[in-house]
């Protein structure tokens, strides 16, 4: 059941050509008992979902655990709400499609996000004004250090902007199942500007889940490259948050700044910052910023992980030098 010297190129959306010393595919929940035993032989391990938020900089000298647990089911339904349960290895977009087809409202704005269900709460994925935490009910998983299954509800997840308690637990905790609470009553979130603009041509009575799903898929496809033809991990950096004093100074110098306010902070578009530094569409060997979205770093050929990391550091340094703002990677860098 353990494969040796496995090429991880097909398991990461950057398409980095690196190898795992050992590779295990978890297909059934019962196999965790076997996994516990074999882990005694390894000092390093990493849990892999869709590989859509990873940058491998070197070969991985340890055990890669590929989570393939699959299945979607409805576990509770009443007049107004429904709880949908999905296994961690299930495709996130498959789950969104399932909910759209069943008229369950809440995650349609998260259409076409690559990766697996189990990775979604780790990052607290978000798009078009919606985050996973908005519909999260609970999740189950296995703690290797505690040698037991644990359940987390919303009060214990520590969800934040692209973060959660599961990021802190890292590869000690293997998520097995995620439960979401969705609405059975018509309930949309259409406040995000590009989504609102795209839907403005439709009568309010024409708008339904399938239309929103279709529109968001079209918007994403128009802005973001398909990783199967151009390796990438989506947004490489988080949108930085700054205080009001820093924002006001920045706004005086750059009144066209792209931002939105979150409580007493201002979230600045990382893509806007990177574009202002001249990186949009810029190519450096096998690496570059996507021509339609500066926030996306792409692998134009056979780039190594270190080439991509070095290019990202050039971006970070340029943004800091020009704006005195420090960009943090959203991508998980494995060195």
| List of domains in the chain | 2-67 (3.30.43.10), 72-223 (3.30.465.10), 231-334 (3.90.78.10)
Mean pLDDT of 30-36: 95
Q: Which of 235, 275, 307, 312 is catalytic?
A: 235
b/e code 149-160 from CB counts within 10 Å (16+ = b)? eeebeeeebebe
pLDDT at 149 over 90: yes
Rg from Cα positions in the chain: 20
Q: Which of 90, 108, 162, 275 is catalytic?
A: 162
Q: What is the mean pLDDT of the chain?
A: 95
Answer yes or no: are the C-beta atoms of 61 and 44 closer than 8 Å.
Answer: yes
Q: What proportion of the chain, given as a percentage, has pLDDT over 70?
A: 100
Model pLDDT for residues 288-328, shown as the tens digit of each residue: 999 999 999 999 989 999 999 999 999 999 999 999 999 99
Whether 162 is catalytic: yes
pLDDT at 62 over 90: yes
pLDDT at 79 over 90: no
Model pLDDT for residues 191-215, shown as the tens digit of each residue: 888 899 999 999 888 899 999 999 9
Whether 235 is catalytic: yes
pLDDT, residue 191, reads 87
pLDDT, residue 261, reads 85
Q: Three-class SS of residue 109?
A: helix
**Separation of alpha carbons 61 and 81, rounded Å:** 46
pLDDT at 264 over 90: no
Model pLDDT for residues 89-126, shown as the tens digit of each residue: 999 999 999 999 999 999 999 999 999 999 999 999 99
Whether 70 is catalytic: no
Taking CB atoms within 8 Å and a gap of at least 24, the contacts of 308-317 are 308/14, 308/16, 308/55, 309/55, 309/57, 309/333, 309/335, 311/284, 311/287, 312/236, 312/237, 314/284, 315/236, 315/237, 315/274, 315/277, 315/279, 315/289, 316/237
pLDDT, residue 297, reads 98
**Separation of alpha carbons 104 and 83, rounded Å:** 9
CA angle, 56 as apex, 43 and 270 as ends, to 5°?
125
**Separation of alpha carbons 329 and 57, rounded Å:** 14
Q: What proportion of the chain, given as a percentage, has pLDDT over 90?
A: 92
pLDDT band at 170 (very low <50, low <70, confident <90, very high): confident
**Separation of alpha carbons 273 and 99, rounded Å:** 36
E strand residue ranges, 184-250: 231-235, 241-242
Lowest mean pLDDT among 238-247, 260-269, 322-331: 260-269
Greatest Cα pair distance, the chain, in angstroms, is 61
* Backbone angles phi and psi of 221, in degrees to 5: -65, -30
DSSP 30-85: GGHHHHHHHGGG-S-EEEESS-TTEEE-S-EEEEEEEE----EEEEEE-SSEEEEE
**Separation of alpha carbons 104 and 95, rounded Å:** 11
Environment class of 303 (CB within 10 Å of its CB; exposed 0-12, middle 13-18, buried 19+): buried
């Amino acid at each position: 059941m353990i494969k040796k010297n496995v090429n991880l190129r097909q398991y990461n959306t950057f398409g980095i050509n690196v190898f795992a010393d050992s590779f295990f595919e978890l297909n059934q929940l019962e196999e965790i008992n076997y996994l516990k035993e074999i882990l005694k032989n390894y000092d390093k391990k990493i849990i892999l979902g869709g590989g859509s938020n990873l940058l491998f900089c070197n070969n991985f000298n340890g055990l890669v655990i590929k989570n393939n647990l699959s299945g979607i089911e409805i576990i509770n339904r009443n007049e107004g709400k429904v709880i949908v349960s999905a296994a961690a290895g299930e495709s996130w977009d498959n789950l969104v499609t399932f909910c759209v087809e069943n008229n369950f409202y809440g995650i349609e704005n998260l259409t076409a996000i690559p990766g697996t269900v189990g990775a979604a709460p780790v990052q607290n994925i978000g798009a078009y004004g919606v985050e996973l935490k908005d519909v999260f009910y609970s999740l189950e998983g296995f703690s290797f250090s505690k040698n037991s299954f644990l359940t987390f509800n919303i009060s214990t997840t520590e969800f934040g902007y692209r973060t959660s308690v599961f990021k802190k637990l890292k590869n000690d905790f293997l998520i097995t199942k995620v439960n979401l609470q969705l609405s059975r009553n018509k309930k949309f979130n259409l406040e995000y500007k590009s989504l609102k603009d795209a839907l403005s041509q439709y009568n309010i009575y024409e708008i339904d889940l399938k239309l929103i799903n279709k529109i968001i898929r079209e918007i994403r496809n128009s802005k973001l490259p398909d990783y199967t033809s151009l390796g990438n991990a989506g947004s490489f950096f988080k949108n930085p948050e700054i205080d009001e004093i820093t924002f006001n100074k920045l706004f005086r110098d750059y009144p066209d700044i792209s931002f939105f306010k979150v409580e007493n902070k201002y979230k600045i578009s990382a893509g806007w910052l990177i574009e202002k530094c001249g990186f949009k569409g810029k190519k450096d060997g096998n690496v570059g910023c996507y021509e339609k979205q500066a926030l996306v770093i792409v692998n134009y050929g056979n780039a190594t992980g270190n080439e991509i990391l070095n290019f990202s550091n050039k971006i970070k340094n340029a943004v800091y030098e020009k704006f005195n703002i420090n960009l943090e990677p959203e991508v998980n860098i494995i060195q």
